[in-house]
Amino acid sequence: MLKEWHHLPKGFEQSSAKTLLGLLGGSALIHLEGEKPERLFVSILLHGNEDSGLLAMQYLLQKYRSKKLPRALTLFVGNVLAAHKGLRRLPDQPDYNRCWLGSEEPECEETRMMQKVYERMEEERLFASVDLHNNTGLNPHYACINVLEQPFFQLATLFSRTVVYFTRPRGVQSQAFSQLCPAVTLECGRVGQQHGIQHAFEFLDACLHMDHIAQHDVAAHDMDLFHTVAQVKMAPQVAFSFSAADTAELHLSPQLDHLNFQELPAGSVFGQVSTELKQPLLAYDEKGNEISARYFKIENGQLKLKRAVMPSMLTLNEKVIRQDCFCYLMERLDYSTKG
């Protein structure tokens, strides 16, 4: 299932996410040498339809086509099968960003493959780990971390002043690699946005050139740090729609994705409820406990926030809502750098 390469497969720089399957035959771990020996680990296409990471890597590889990379680099190309079909994952596959060390997925081919990648990289001197993603709503570019330490803040703020800390869901790449080196997940906006690709490219190029990751404190005014307090899922039987023309039990605001990364007051309205629905949105805390009643209430047929929070990953894509989740809720984290 996993192929290891010690050179760039011919044609990689010109390939699209859809044609990688023909080139690589499956998931691939590609090791490239560079001037500085501490290796940068980069993963792309853990979600097969999110190709900004691939395009950013291709820019980077083209830049160094005729010279040595400034730093050794290993690239993990994840869900090539789903990428071939333009999908996040295939219906019978687990999510490739939920299968890493600490995963709560049942053991399967994919969890064993991620274990192998991790063990393989554990043998290397790692500089940093970067996992590249896109999302579907109107979100700013931001970095996610799973450890509250200065080198993680330094790496994250190299990409964006907006930083999100989370410990759930489990089994994500950046959480696993946090055990080996400073690790980030980068959310590079929506698929197809050139500035997201350019931003990721510049970040990766900086990682290749940097001598070391600073250990000193990131100034409090240089970072907006949030932590995830809940993952919100649509209750499975609920018929929902973003169009008032449809018949549905829950009509969600068609501008809902404009609320991403806005600090919302209690009472903010998410949609209209037309039936006896009790709790259409299910919120889970970082330990997996259901805490819907803490964040949502229905009042006069309106679905409202019960307390002030900041949502992220709100999307109008119904498939993403069903397959992944409705949104995340965050609160500002006052992480005093004075300790």
For Zn ion, the binding residues (CB under 5 A) are 47, 50, 133
Closest CB to Zn ion among residues 176, 273: 176
Strands (E), the chain: 2-5, 27-32, 34-44, 69-77, 126-133, 142-145, 162-165, 183-187, 224-234, 240-241, 250-252, 269-273, 281-284, 296-299, 302-305, 310-312, 327-332
Please list the helix, strand and coil fractions of the chain in percent, rounded to the nearest 5, in that order.
25, 30, 45
Closest CB to Zn ion among residues 50, 51: 50
As measured in angstroms, the least distance from the Cβ of 3 to Zn ion is 22
Closest CB to Zn ion among residues 39, 47: 47
Closest CB to Zn ion among residues 133, 168: 133
Closest CB to Zn ion among residues 45, 121: 45
As measured in angstroms, the least distance from the Cβ of 185 to Zn ion is 8
Rounded CA gap, 67 and 29, in Å? 21
Provide CB contacts within 8 A for 319, sequence distance 6+.
none
Residue 11 token pair: 């044609």
As measured in angstroms, the least distance from the Cβ of 93 to Zn ion is 14
Counting beta carbons within 10 angstroms of the beta carbon of residue 119, is it exposed (0 to 12), middle (13 to 18) or buried (19 or more)?
exposed
As measured in angstroms, the least distance from the Cβ of 106 to Zn ion is 21
Closest CB to Zn ion among residues 32, 191: 191
Question: Going edge to edge, which strands form the sheet with 302-305?
Answer: 240-241, 250-252, 269-273, 302-305, 296-299
As measured in angstroms, the least distance from the Cβ of 42 to Zn ion is 14
As measured in angstroms, the least distance from the Cβ of 47 to Zn ion is 4
Q: Which amino acid is residue 54, in one-letter code?
A: L
